[in-house]
Structure 1
Amino acid sequence: MKRVLLGTVAILAFAAPAFAADMPARTYTKAPVYTPPEVIYNWTGFYIGGHLGGAFAGNNSLEGSGGRFMGGVQGGFDYQFATNWVVGAEAQYSWLSNNNSNLVFPGGTVVTAKNNQLGSVTGRLGYTWGPALLYAKGGYAWRDNPNIGVAVAGTPAAFTTDSTHKNGYTVGAGLEYMFAPNWSAKAEYQYYNFGSTTFTGGPAPIVGSRFRDDEHTVKVGVNYRFGWGGPVAAKY
C-alpha cells in the first residue's frame, strides 16, 4: 500500500508541470484612460451688451483725423449651424464725443462740422471653435446730422451742400469669446462710409470742395446671452 501511494505521488509530481504548461495564460485587462468630456459651446440665441472704443475719421474728412471716444449698446441674434458656423443679425448704436475740427480756407473762411451718433444694422457670419468666434459683418449705417457751419472772418455765412449724407454702409470684423456661462467679450473693427459732401454754394473759396464722410472705429464690448449661449452639453 505504501509503495502504491509513493508511486502515485511521483506520477503527480511529474505530471503537474506538464499540466500547468497546457493551461492558458491568465490575461490582464488594462483600465481605460480617463478622457474628460468635451464641452460643446452653443452660440444660438438673443443677446444684448455694451461697448467702448474710439472713432477716427478718414483722410480729407470734414470731421478731421483726430480720434474721438465712443461708447454704446448693441443687441442681436445668432444661429449656429453645421457645427462650426454662426450666422446672425445685430443692431448697434454709439455715442461719439464732440470734435472741434476747423477747416480754414483762403479769405478767412472756416468750415466746421460735428456729428455725435453712429448706428448700424448688420448681418454677420462667423466660424467658431470652442468658446471663440471669428466673424465678419456688414450692412446699413446711419449717423446724425453732421451739423456743418461756415463762417467768414467770424461771421456765419450761408452755404449749400449736395446732401446731408446721413445714410451709408458699414463693414467690419471681430473676435468674440465666451468667458463664462451666458457671457461673452468681443474686440471689433468697424468701418462706416456715408459718401462725400460737396459744397454747391456759399463763399467762393469753398464752392466745389468735396470731403469724405467716413469713420474707422475700434471697440471692445461685453454681451449677455439669454438662455442658449455658453457650454450646454458634454460630448464623450
Structure 2
Amino acid sequence: MNKFLIGAVGALAIGLGAAPATAADLAPRPYTKAPPMVAAIYDWSGFYIGANGGWGSSRNCWDFTTPAGVVVAREGCHDATGGTAGGQIGYRWQSSNWVFGLEAQGNWADISGRRASLAFPAFTNDSHLGAFGLFTGQVGYAWDATLLYVKGGAAVTSNRYRSLGTLTGVQVTNNVNNTDWGATVGVGLEYGFAPNWSLGFEYDHIFMGSNRYTFINNGVAGAAGTLFGTDNIGQDVDLVTARINYRWGGPAIARY
C-alpha cells in the first residue's frame, strides 16, 4: 500500500512538471528605442525665377547751367512717385547657414513728378522714370526657411525729362529721354513656404548721380529748334517691392 501511494504521488509530480508554460513564464520582449524625430533643413541653393511689384520714389534735383556745365541757378528738387512691376532671375548657393547669390532684375515703372522751377517760376520741371534694371550680388544668412540678405551692384534707369508752362501745363520743350547707369544697395527678407517656392520683401536704393541735359524749344515758348536751356539733373530712387520666386533645386534636406 505504501508503495502504491508513493508511486501515485511520483506520477502526479511528473505530470505537474510537464504542464504547459503560462504567459508569466515567457521571457520579456526586448526594448526598442523609438526613431529620432527628423528636422527639415531648407536648402536655398539653385536657379530661381520670379516676379515682383511695389512702389517707388525718385528724387530729382535740377540745376540750370551754361552749355559748358557751369551752374547758374538752383531750380530745386521734387519727388516723383508711382508703381512698379517686373521680374527677376538668379542663382544662389548655400554653405552652412550662409547664402550667396547673383541676380538680374528688370522692371517697368510709372514714377512721375513735377515742380515749378525756383529760378524760373513760369516753367515747371517734369520727371518720369519709366523702367529700371538691377544687376547685383547677394550675401545672406538663413535660419532654415527664413533668409535675410543684403545686395549691391549696378543699376540702370530709363527717364524722360521735359519743361511745361506752369500756368497752362502745356509742354514747351522736347522730351529728353535718357538711359543712365548708377549703383544700388538693398536688403531683403525671404521665406520659403514650400520646398521650391518663396515669398519676400525687399528695399532698394539707387544712386544715379548727376547728368547734364539740353532742352530744345518746341515752338510754344520760343522758336522751334532753338536752345531752351541746359540742366544738371541729379537722381536717387527708393524702391519697396514684394517678391515671389520659384527655385529649381532639391527639396528640404532631412537631418537627424
Task: Tell whether the 8 Å contact from 2:210 to 2:235 is kept in structure 1 after alignment.
Answer: yes
User: Cα distance 1:90–1:63, how it changes in 2: closer, same or farther (>3 A)?
Assistant: farther
Q: Does the 8 Å CA contact 1:87/1:124 hold for their aligned counterparts?
A: yes
Match of residue 160 from structure 2: 147
Contact 1:165/1:196 (<8 A) preserved: no
1:208 deviates by: 7.6
Partner of 2:99: 86
Distance in 2, Cα, partners of 1:47 & 1:207: 47
Mark the CA change 1:112 to 1:66 in structure 2 (over 3 Å): closer, same or farther: closer
In structure 2, which of residues 183, 192, 209 is the aligned counterpart of residue 195 of structure 1?
A: 209
Bigger Cα displacement from structure 2, 102-111 vs 124-133 = 102-111
The 1-side partners of 2:31 and 2:78 are apart by 72
Residue type of the partner of 1:101?
R
1:51 aligns to 2:64 (yes or no): no
User: Counting strand residues as a fraction of each chain, which structure ranks higher?
Assistant: 2
Cα distance in structure 2, aligned partners of 1:141 and 1:150:
26
1:225 paired with 2:247, answer: yes
Residues 198 and 244 in structure 2, CA contact (< 8 A), matched pair in contact too: yes
Which structure's CA Rg is the greater one?
A: 2
User: Normalising to structure 2: TM-score of the pair?
Assistant: 0.68
Note the residue ranges of structure 1 that are not aligned, 5 or more in a row. Answer: 1-28
Mark the CA change 1:164 to 1:131 in structure 2 (over 3 Å): closer, same or farther: same
Identity level (%): 31
Q: CA deviation at 1:139?
A: 0.4
- Residue 214 (str. 1) matches residue 227 (str. 2): no
1:234 offset after TM fit, Å? 1.3
- Equivalent residue number for residue 85 of structure 2: 71
**1:156 and 2:172 matched:** yes
Question: Partner of 2:184 in structure 1?
Answer: 170
User: What amino acid does structure 2 have at the position aligned with 1:57?
Assistant: S
Distance in 1 between residues matched to 2:142 and 2:200, nearest whole Å? 13
Query: Which of these residues, 109, 116, 129, is aligned with residue 103 of structure 1?
Result: 116
Structure 2 alignment gaps of length 5 or more: 1-29, 63-75, 218-227
- The answer on whether the counterparts of 2:80 and 2:128 sit within 8 Å (CA) in structure 1 is no
Q: Residues 12-27 of structure 1 correspond to what in structure 2 (within 5 A)?
A: none
Q: Does 1:235 align with 2:255?
A: yes
Q: Deviations over 1:154-176 (max 9, x none)?
A: 4624799xx95610011101111
SS at match of 1:196: strand
Deviation per residue, 1:176-215 (Å, 9 max, x gap): 1100121001111011111024467889xx9686442111
Equivalent position amino acid for 1:218 in 2: V
Which moved further from structure 2: 59-68 or 210-219?
59-68
Task: For 2:31 and 2:230, locate their aligned partners in 1 and report how far apart those are by CA, in whole Å.
Answer: 85
Aligned residue pairs, count: 203
Quick one: which amino acid aligns to residue 92 of structure 2? D
Name segments (4+ residues, structure 1) moved above 6 Å: 200-203
Name the SS of the counterpart of 2:129 in structure 1: coil
* TM-score, normalising length: structure 1: 0.73
Q: Shift of the alpha carbon at 1:115? A: 2.0
Aligned residue for 1:43, secondary structure, equals coil
